[in-house]
Amino acid sequence: MKVPLTLLTVGSESLLKEELLQMMREEGATGFTVTQADGEGTQEFRTTEWEGPNVRIETILTAATADKILERLSADYFESFAVIAWLTEVSVLRGVKFES
């Protein structure tokens, strides 16, 4: 039996990784898939921040928790850091624990 949940994907510079994971854990996220990535931003406004190794973090959440984390990312990171984030509706099997 499948249940709908929300996948949050975050791309950021690697230096923010632990800080972002900690913030997401505070909001209830319990499991993450972390991938090394290279961002290639816009020439207009993101080139300098977006160099060096980057990280791509995925975590599955209820829609409410995903929204809360997205708001915190927006308030605390989008202005000053090369952080991007998006939400995708996904299905998982019931019984798998995704939040604390």
- Applying CB under 8 A, the residues found at the interface with its own copies are 2, 5, 7, 11, 21, 30-46, 54, 56, 60, 67, 70-71, 74, 78, 84-93, 95-97, 100
Find the angle CA(61)-CA(67)-CA(69) to the nearest 5 degrees: 80
Local structure of residue 2 (DSSP, 8 states)? E
**CA neighbor of 11 nearest in space, from 67, 66, 50:** 50
The minimum distance between CB 22 and its own copies, in angstroms, equals 11
